[in-house]
Structure 1
């Protein structure tokens, strides 16, 4: 048996330790990379979860706002206005005469009273006649209930009031459609025009509406 070459032993031992150190470093780096990958995946999952939670909260808030808006407008949407031009007839020669005024029927189909009710025609005209009405009556009939003020203090649930404009020329009738103003049971002031457009308004009872 030959003798051991001790002069190579330190090199051999150094190589073994260097290899072990390299293996340890590789395993450490691999473990760290795995941990970093797991952490990144966890952060991504948490980010997705938080995004979904935020989206759900926004949807819930939007639904709550929509429900609150529905509650706020529910009574106002239960108030109806039916407007028609009237006055057309025939003169002594059998010739048709044009419409010369508006007839507006306001029906409170909500479950609460409305207050400070008035109808204005265009920007300048108040109602000429206001009286109680029954929606079961013939719309063309001349029968009417008690006469009321231009600004009706209160119309109870299920009650009907009729407003008539002054008599003026056919063109003036056409150019001055009616707008209903009323205050709901919660104190909000509303405007309902002849096209059925309902909106909250700053207009005060008895005063001309603000310029658009």
Structure 2
């Protein structure tokens, strides 16, 4: 074998040996630490107790009906705002559509401070107007004063008092005899402002 071949083989062997030695003896310190995280969303859970606010028969012009019910925050988050939407339908005694006048124009809704002070009306409107009203109006004029601007705290209850009146307008209201009005109130809860947690 020539000198060049021997020198080439020697260099190749040396390079291989150095790579094996260097790879096997390379070492360093290391350490690990772990951190766990979790996120759990809260709940908004608004309930009405009882679920039937009013169910009355045989009313006549001039009658008033006082009712109390509770708004219950069964969730884990505070409720800052409650919006109320109203739906109703009127059927006359023959089962047909409503009469010439809307029966709900003659039903007055008075939101009250409490049952003992029936004259202390927070807000008053006709049922027909309540149906078309912006829900924010009721929140601003009824719920915000009742909740004392703090909202409905998680796990708390607030009493709501309302008076319905079949208004006697002093005129002929015979067309409403035998009519029935079905009303549905939907309460919608909204969370408060964002918080730094």
The TM-score bracket by the shorter chain reads 0.3 to 0.5
| Rg comparison, structure with higher value | 1
Q: As a proportion of its length, which structure holds more helix?
A: 1
TM-score of the two chains, using structure 2 as the length reference: 0.34
TM-score of the two chains, using structure 1 as the length reference: 0.33
